[in-house]
Copies of this chain bind each other. A is one copy, B any other.
Amino acid sequence: MTFIKPRSTATTRDRLLTAAEMAILDKGFAATSIEELIVEVGITKGGFFYHFKDKSALIEAILERHLVAEEVWLDDLFASAAKETEEPLAQFLVFLRLLQEQMAALPDVHPGCLIAATCFQERLFTQTVHDLAQQNLLNWRSRFHARLTAIAKVDPPRYQIDLEAMADMLVVLVDGAIILSKTVREKEVLPRQIALYACFVAGVFGDVG
């Protein structure tokens, strides 16, 4: 009766993470039970707690993995943009266009932002989780801020502007657009906001007709 699958090293843990990430983005952390995850992955409760000491450890691991993946993804987008042009403003606008295209290409409403999902569950998570989320957003902020500073050096802004707030604005727009998009069930919201942000940037630094 005891059907034992071949030893699967880290695969089971990874499949657990993937199943959990999808379920959490889909319906939220609290609504995702350990039970359904182990059924999906095909292990038992003991197996789950062998990998993660509790539910919080699970979301910590998801966030960590997510952070790395997102970093790579952002790097790729920046690299693609850098291939097209060397001029900082043009490069940033290409990056925004790529970002917009990727968001528009998603089949459904954006599955949602893990950070935001954890943000409204304060007491449910450990400090580590909140620290990871913070680190992630600060990373976006500083990356965009560096770009904007580089742009401002070449193309000084037409009027006095808060570059740090402008860097934050993209982060904020993405998270906010996901909320609006999910709530009103319109997938165009996110790409449209990115496009509008690009307009803003172009209007501040460039000469738009």
Contacts and interface: CB of A to CB of B under 8 A. Distances in A.
Contacts of A137: 180, 183-184
A46 to B, nearest CB: 25
Most buried by B among A26, A112, A193: A193
A172 B180 contact: yes
A196 B160 CA distance: 11
Contacts of A185: 134
Nearest to A120: B117
Given A27-B122, A28-B120, A31-B122, A165 B184 contact: no
B173 A172 contact: yes
Interface string A161-184: 110011011011111110110111
A1 interface: no
Contact of A121 (B31, B113, B209): B31
Contact of A183 (B134, B189, B199): B134
A143 interface: no
Main secondary structure of the interface of A (DSSP, over half): helix
Interface residues of A, number: 55
A193 B169 contact: yes
A203 B201 CA distance: 11
A13 interface: no
A133 interface: yes
12 contacts: A28-B30, A28-B121, A28-B123, A113-B179, A138-B184, A165-B192, A165-B193, A168-B189, A169-B173, A175-B180, A176-B176, A179-B179
A141 B134 CA distance: 29
Contacts of A193: 165, 168-169, 172
Contacts of A168: 177, 180, 189, 192-193
